[in-house]
Amino acid sequence: MTLEAIQYLRGRLHILNQLLLPHETCYEEIDTVQQGWQAIRDMKVRGAPAIAIVGCLSLVTELQQSNEEDKDAVVTFILDSLKYLVSARPTAVNIAKAAAELSALVRRETQKAESTAATIKESVITHIVSMLEKDIADNKNIGDCGARHILSRINKEKATILTHCNTGSLATAGYGTALGVIRSLHAMGRLEHVFCTETRPYNQGARLTAFELVYEKIPATLIADSMASIAMKEKGISAVVVGADRVVLNGDTANKVGTYQLAVSAKYHNIPFYVAAPCTSCDLSLENGEQIVIEERPHQELTDINGIRIAAPGIHVWNPAFDVTPHELITGGIITELGVFSPSELQDAVIRG
């Protein structure tokens, strides 16, 4: 059985509470927009694609329970809910793009003379439910394109990959993005080994990626973030592959904090650095990475581990959740479901679709 962060069946939504992993596997039901927002804010569900899908599915569950028959009331509820869901976490663009698409869909549907509250609800629900299948299909393409690209550029039978944060089944509807590339290499019999970083301060690598890799029986080793450079020097890393929360017009990419230093180090060690992300993570409305809003998380996520304070009392804390990797450090390419592109090729590729 594959790991599922999101279970949606016959109108009911359950999410795997990722705060309890790897020790407890506990699914929680989400049946309102407010609960969806809270689960995203608390990081019970996280990862750019999963945030968008769970947020939108929380709207589906609430719409399905509602008996509201007034068209204007339904439209207002949908548009307000989408705006609210986008506010849960600001950096990942997927939920903002999904909300914009859905809002446009609602406006188009509303203008149809024959539309009713029921037909508008139905078109929104159908669109959102299709996001699940599309995300998995996109991830499989990302995995296969990325694996083939990496293999075409190494002069070894098998690749060794270093990755950061969690970009797997837990961060998406399934298969994963950067972890999807690793999964595809493994399925092809062409993966030597994976090094996954712990990913301080919130340990998505140690808690979640390590869990997924062990679960899938993929040969892997956990390292602390501070060991990445020595791993690049000594462990025969063929490529660094990470995910993205937002890739902007010039290819600058926001991803989990710590990604930037990996890219700097990869450049120094002459190791190709790849970003793996679906087009839903590409934001062509921003010109460069300086325009990306970087979420700051509560200090406790840095000072405490599992509720136990490890940092000296009284110390100041800065806890940005993401950093921006400048496009010139993305030397391997940006792996999307449409193919692998250099940062300068990305805009045309995404527009062409």
Q: 351: alpha, beta or left, given left = phi > 0 and alpha = psi -120 to 50?
A: alpha
243 lines the binding site for ligand MRU (CB under 6 A): yes
Calpha distance 66→125 (Å, rounded): 13
Does residue 165 contact residue 209 with C-beta atoms inside 8 Å? yes
Calpha distance 114→73 (Å, rounded): 17
17 lines the binding site for ligand MRU (CB under 6 A): no
Calpha distance 225→203 (Å, rounded): 10
Q: Which stretch binds ligand MRU (CB under 6 A): 113-121, 165-173, 188-196, 342-350?
A: 165-173
Which residue in 61, 160, 255, 336 binds ligand MRU (CB under 6 A)? 255
CA torsion sign, 303 to 212 to 98 to 61?
A: negative
Measured at the CA of 245, the angle between CA 240 and CA 249, to 5 degrees, comes to 90
Calpha distance 191→202 (Å, rounded): 27
Which residue in 149, 186, 207, 256 binds ligand MRU (CB under 6 A)? 256
Which residue in 204, 209, 238, 331 binds ligand MRU (CB under 6 A)? 204
Closer CB to ligand MRU, residue 40 or residue 75? Answer: 40
Closer CB to ligand MRU, residue 33 or residue 48? Answer: 48
165 lines the binding site for ligand MRU (CB under 6 A): yes
Catalytic residue (choose from 245, 252, 283, 323): 245
In the window 69-98, what residues touch ligand MRU (CB under 6 A)? 92
Which residue's Cβ has the minimum distance to ligand MRU? 243
- Residue 245: active-site member: yes
Does residue 270 contact residue 276 with C-beta atoms inside 8 Å? no
253 lines the binding site for ligand MRU (CB under 6 A): no
Least Cβ distance, residue 177 to ligand MRU (angstroms): 4
49 lines the binding site for ligand MRU (CB under 6 A): yes
245 lines the binding site for ligand MRU (CB under 6 A): yes
Does residue 120 contact residue 110 with C-beta atoms inside 8 Å? yes
Does residue 150 contact residue 142 with C-beta atoms inside 8 Å? no
DSSP-derived secondary structure for 142-202: HHHHHHHHHHHT-SSSSEEEEE-S--SGGGSSSS-SHHHHHHHHHHTT-EEEEEEE--TTT
Measured at the CA of 120, the angle between CA 117 and CA 121, to 5 degrees, comes to 85
Q: Which stretch binds ligand MRU (CB under 6 A): 26-34, 78-86, 100-108, 240-248?
A: 240-248
In the window 300-329, what residues touch ligand MRU (CB under 6 A)? 321
Q: Which stretch binds ligand MRU (CB under 6 A): 40-48, 79-87, 128-136, 214-222?
A: 40-48
Closer CB to ligand MRU, residue 56 or residue 244? Answer: 244
Amino acid at 192: E
Q: Which stretch binds ligand MRU (CB under 6 A): 9-17, 61-69, 241-249, 343-351?
A: 241-249
Catalytic residues: 245
Per CB under 6 A, residues contacting ligand MRU are 46-49, 92, 165, 167, 171-172, 177, 204, 243-245, 255-256, 321
